[in-house]
Homo-oligomer: A and B are copies of this chain.
């Protein structure tokens, strides 16, 4: 019985809940981030059934979201000797997690925007209104390609570069 502080189980549940809520605020579905959080906090690989049980979700739901996580590169299958079931793990390394998420979002979201912005430059009209629009688009292209380059660097970098760069930025 703990007077202050909290028990491990309670903390894990709170973490799973928070991670889930955070994900859904960022356009990732709640179950997917909850499963991710569960795996992050689990000290051993979990099977689909473990996950279904602990999060009280159906097999179909578990299966779909595990696959999505694997697709993102956030979760890996682990074959356990003598076991027929698949087991799953997630990296506990926060920097690595951030790196993978940045990599995927760059690919899935930033790249398409850059493409479309680049298309939108081709306007022939020459009046004031058109020029103003072109100016916005041109700035946006500038901005997105710069951000893209930074993300690319981050994704390819190592932990030391990242933490060193952060320090430089806030210096």
Contact = CB atoms under 8 A, between A and B. Distances in A.
Kindly report how many copies of this chain are found in the complex they form together: 2
Given A132-B92, A137-B15, A2 B124 contact: yes
Contact of A165 (B25, B116, B133, B169): B169
A146 interface: yes
A68 interface: no
A72 to B, nearest CB: 14
A40 B8 contact: no
Interface string A137-160: 101101100110110010000000
B125 A150 contact: no
Contact of A136 (B94, B123, B129): B94
A120 B14 contact: yes
Interface of A: 2, 4-8, 11-12, 14-15, 18, 22, 24-27, 40-41, 43, 92-95, 98, 109, 113, 116, 119-120, 122-125, 128-130, 132-133, 135-137, 139-140, 142-143, 146-147, 149-150, 153, 163, 165-166, 168-170
6 contacts: A11-B133, A15-B137, A22-B109, A40-B136, A92-B139, A149-B170
Given A15-B116, A92-B139, A149-B170, 11 more contacts: A4-B122, A5-B122, A5-B123, A7-B123, A11-B123, A18-B116, A43-B129, A93-B139, A150-B166, A153-B169, A168-B168
